[in-house]
Amino acid sequence: MEGLWGMVITQPMADQSGQQTYVDACVALIEFRKDADANWSCEVIATLQNARAMRCDSATVNGSDVEINFLIDQTPMNLQGQLVDGIVRGTLTMPDAGIIPVVMRPTNERKYEGWEPTPVAQGMDKLAQAVASRDQPQALLDLANELRGNSLSLLAYELVINRLPQYANLDETGVRGLVRDYLDMANIWGPRQIAQARLTAAMSVAMTRRFPDFSLELADAVAKAGSFQRPNWEESLDFVREQAQLDIGLKQIKSRDAEERAAAFEKLQTLVEKQRYNPELLEALAIYAERNDQKPLAKQYYADIVALPLLEETWRQQRAGQPPGDPTPRERLLNLWEQEHGGLDGFDKFLATAYEQRLAELMDKAGQAVPEVVPADQQKRTVLVELFTAASCFPCVSADLALAELRRTYPVPQVIVLQFHQHLPAPDPLTNLDSEDRFAYYEPRGTPAAFVDGQPVADPGVSGLLQHVIPAYRRTRSAVDTRLKFPSQAKLVLSAALEGEELVIDAEATDFPEDQSPDLRLRLALVEDHVDFTGANGIRGHEFVVREMLGGAKGVGVKSGRLSYSLRMPLADVRQHLTDYLTQFESGRDYTFLVKPMKLERLTLVGWVQNDATREILHSGLTPVAGRTAETPASEQPAKSE
């Protein structure tokens, strides 16, 4: 081991055309030394450009086994490997990170000059050909064996293992053989890579839904290698065990043996708390309950599928490819209802109640996930949250519900949550020209997208289904809590009233930073407090929907040192603007909206001061439109916002 070594990590990188390739990146040049007492030491003599500060803390060489402890900006990194045929293959680990395969090769280089430290990975051309081949998984398996000992051989096997759910023609013997060969390949990089490979295989086998016992075997083997476990492994193992328990239970609940069915029913019920929004599980429990004279429980499970957002759609997707003929959950529920009530009277109300109860439970759990709110004496501003959503957008479900809970956590005027609807992926009757312009202002990738005082919620954002409401809420709460403690940089006085049927608006911002004046805009949104409309994604009600931005989406700038806006206009003009927009949309796309919600019964004026150079919102406030809004608690009527 004495001498110079290059530490190489095979990693993805974009080529000159922007396409992803893999390179063998020599991230560090390391010199090994052995003193007269046979004690080993090492020194990092150079690192790849832009790499963080890295140094050797200790080194051990015991026969062919090599271990190095590095410090990277005071963060420990451990390398464990084995010297075979003049090359060290092993793994790197760091706190809060995964397991990284690494290769160390002898070198004569002492600095990064005159040679390419990030060449295209050896065998990359063959990997590209194997990936493109129609002969799968054989093409990738052949390549992995050809490149044995090359880091790309691991990648080829991982591609095969991750695609196990696609290989429906493989029986359990075939799957076990693939996994055995994958673990044999991982063994070249040592026991930590074997543990990682077992976890990867356990996850993929679980996702096939066909071999739950095998996935449990793999999960148990990973758990026994406790010293190798990395962050989030336990979460992955929980998924494998849960999925296996579900698949075993779903099979047993259809058994011919009554006792086995009853036992499966009891076991599956324990999963409901964790998989409350899995229609496959709910349907199995409902059918069993119905057949065993537990009709109230059956109705509850069926109602969850029918009433909650997107569960029926998920059920249909889960049934894809299966023979038609079985009644749907809705048909089964209707049949039970008619048997009990002799007709459909009260059925819609029953579904609405189920919807409200289940979502209330979910939102309570979201609120409990971040129980500590910012104390009132530490709140230094009103925070504005802008949600770009759509009634036909399936992943907007988690965003809509997470921000609904945010409204409950911090009622106005602490936090204002606006909805700007979009025609994504399908036409939405709550969309208007100003909401589209506001979407273009931020240029998000799509819906949903949430911005807190002008800044996006941290990735992965607020997108998802019912089971993603709590993480979406956590991410939004984190951003909101931070902003609540940040002092306001302006004052805002708003007034809004109906004089007869004429809308009268006055708004003025003061005490804003003069040096920001060229970039400041005052924006005003007329919002409808609540709109009853059930979209294609199953969300039944929409709060604080932006109906028009008074003065336009661009807002108004500072003029003669003042940042203000006044308006008098018939309220009928707002309705007409919405009608004209939707009519034009329909004619341009040969589309007809089945419903166009435009009651405009409860209205609020929301204003904010924004720096268009940074998009930061300096301050925001709101006031109900007097004479149009139902009586609102005084605590929710901040005509002045300072």
| pLDDT, tens digit (0-9, with 9 covering 90-100), for 129-157 | 999 999 999 999 999 999 999 999 999 99
Predicted confidence band of residue 320 (pLDDT cuts 50, 70, 90): confident
Residue 603 lies in a domain: yes
Work out the mean pLDDT of the chain and round it to a whole number: 94
One-letter amino acid identity for 414?
Q
Tell me if 363 is assigned to some domain: no
Instruction: Name the domain boundary from 43, 74, 106.
Output: 106
- Residue written as token pair 């005071």: 74
Instruction: Provide the pLDDT for residue 393.
Output: 98
**Pair 472, 379 in one domain:** yes
Rounded to whole angstroms, the Cα distance separating 81 from 101 reads 10
Lowest mean pLDDT among 92-96, 231-235, 638-642: 638-642
29-78: pLDDT as tens digits: 999 999 988 899 999 999 987 666 889 999 999 999 999 999 998 899 99
What are the backbone angles phi and psi of residue 18, rounded to the nearest 5°?
90, -5
Residue 588 lies in a domain: yes
Q: Over 90: is that where the pLDDT of 18 sits?
A: no
Q: Which is nearest to 600 in space by CA: 543, 550, 529, 534?
A: 529
* d(C-alpha 273, C-alpha 347), whole Å: 26
Same domain, residue pair 337 and 458: no
Q: Facing residues of 610 across strands?
A: 521, 617
pLDDT at 229 over 80: no
Buried b (16+ CB within 10 A) or exposed e, 97-111: eebbbbbbeebeeee
CA distance 247 to 245: 6
Lowest-confidence segment of 191-195, 233-237, 315-319, 632-636 by average pLDDT: 632-636
Q: Take residue 403 and report the two structure tokens written for it.
A: 């921000």
What would the two tokens of residue 394 be? 């399936």
Kindly tell me if the per-residue pLDDT of 639 is higher than 50.
Answer: no
Cβ atoms of 88 and 82 within 8 Å: the answer is yes
Which run of H or of E encompasses 558?
none
Q: What is the CATH number of the domain that holds 81?
A: 2.40.128.120
Beta strands 449-452; 563-570: pairing state: unpaired
CA distance linking residue 326 with residue 408, whole number of Å = 41
Please indicate, yes or no, if residue 242 is contained in any of the structural domains.
yes
Q: What's 480's domain CATH number?
A: 3.40.30.10
pTM for this one?
Answer: 0.85
Which has the closest alpha carbon to 288: 310, 266, 305, 307?
266
Tokens of residue 292, six digits: 């065993």
Token pair of 57, please? 């803390």
Residues 6+ apart with CB under 8 A from 537: 309, 310, 390, 391, 392, 393, 394, 396, 397
pLDDT band at 628 (very low <50, low <70, confident <90, very high): low
Quick check: 227 pLDDT over 90?
A: no
The whole-number average pLDDT for the span 326-348 is 97
CA-to-CA distance for 81 and 189, rounded, in angstroms?
Answer: 7
Is 636 part of any domain? no
Would you tell me how many other CB atoms lie within 10 Å of the CB of residue 445?
Answer: 8
Q: Phi/psi at 424 (nearest 5 deg)? A: -135, 125
One domain for residues 379 and 435: yes
Whose CA is closest to 160, among 149, 173, 174, 150? 174
Distance CA 268, CA 65 (A): 47
Q: Is 38 left (phi over 0), alpha (psi -120 to 50) or beta?
A: left
Residues 14 and 143 in one domain: no
Among 209, 226, 248, give the residue marking a domain's end: 248
Q: Is pLDDT at 17 greater than 90 in this prediction?
A: no
467: Cα within 13 Å, side-chain hemisphere: 10
Asked if residue 637 has pLDDT above 60, the reply is no
State mean pLDDT over 341-346.
Answer: 96
| 288 φ, ψ (degrees, to nearest 5) | -60, -45
Contact 540, 355 (CB under 8 A): yes
Number of domains in the chain: 4
Tokens 């140094």: give the residue.
Answer: 55
**Res 629 pLDDT > 60:** no
Q: Predicted confidence band at 95 (pLDDT cuts at 50, 70, 90)?
A: confident
Sort strands 520-532 and 603-611 into parallel, antiparallel or unpaired.
Answer: antiparallel
Helices (H) and strands (E) in the chain, counts: 17, 20
Please, which residues bridge with residue 546 across strands?
527
Domain shared by 418 and 544, yes or no:
yes
% the chain with pLDDT above 90 = 90
Residue 435 domain-assigned?
yes
pLDDT bucket at 537, cuts 50 / 70 / 90: very high
Q: Are 31 and 91 part of one and the same domain?
A: yes
60 within some domain:
yes
Is pLDDT above 60 for 411?
yes
- Do 401 and 274 lie in one domain? The reply is no
Residue 350 located in a structural domain: no
Nearest Cα to Cα of residue 47 among 82, 76, 8, 80: 8
What CA–CA distance (Å, rounded) separates 101 from 10? 8
Q: In the numeric block, which tokens belong to residue 552? A: 């336009």
Of the candidate ranges 67-76, 307-316, 614-623, 626-635, the one whose mean pLDDT is the lowest: 626-635
Distances from the Cα of 391 to the Cαs of 225, 416, 544, 546, in angstroms? Answer: 47, 20, 14, 14
| Residue 100 shares a structural domain with residue 215 | no
Residues 130 and 227 both lie in one domain? yes
Instruction: Please provide the size of the chain in residues.
Output: 642
What's the domain range around 226? 124-248
Cα–Cα dist 167/186, whole Å:
22
Place of tokens 């690494």: 102
If asked whether residues 418 and 541 sit together in one domain, one would say: yes
Phi, psi of 2 (to 5 degrees): -60, 140
Query: Tokens 């770009």 map to which residue?
Result: 388
Residues 228-242, mean pLDDT to the nearest whole number: 88
Residue 455, strand partner residues: 452
Rounded Cα distance between 90 and 174, Å, is 28
By percentage, how much of the chain surpasses pLDDT 70? 97
Collapse the DSSP code of 211 into the 3-class scheme (helix H, G, I; strand E, B; otherwise coil) and give the result.
Answer: coil
pLDDT, position 98: 85
Examine the domain organization and report whether 154 and 206 are in the same domain: yes
Q: What is the pLDDT of residue 474?
A: 97
Give the end of a domain, one of 248, 268, 290: 248
Token look-up 């930073």 returns 513
**What is the mean predicted confidence (pLDDT) over 444-465?**
96
Whether pLDDT at 420 is above 60: yes
Indicate if 78 and 130 belong to the same structural domain. Answer: no
**Residue linked to tokens 């005490």:** 511
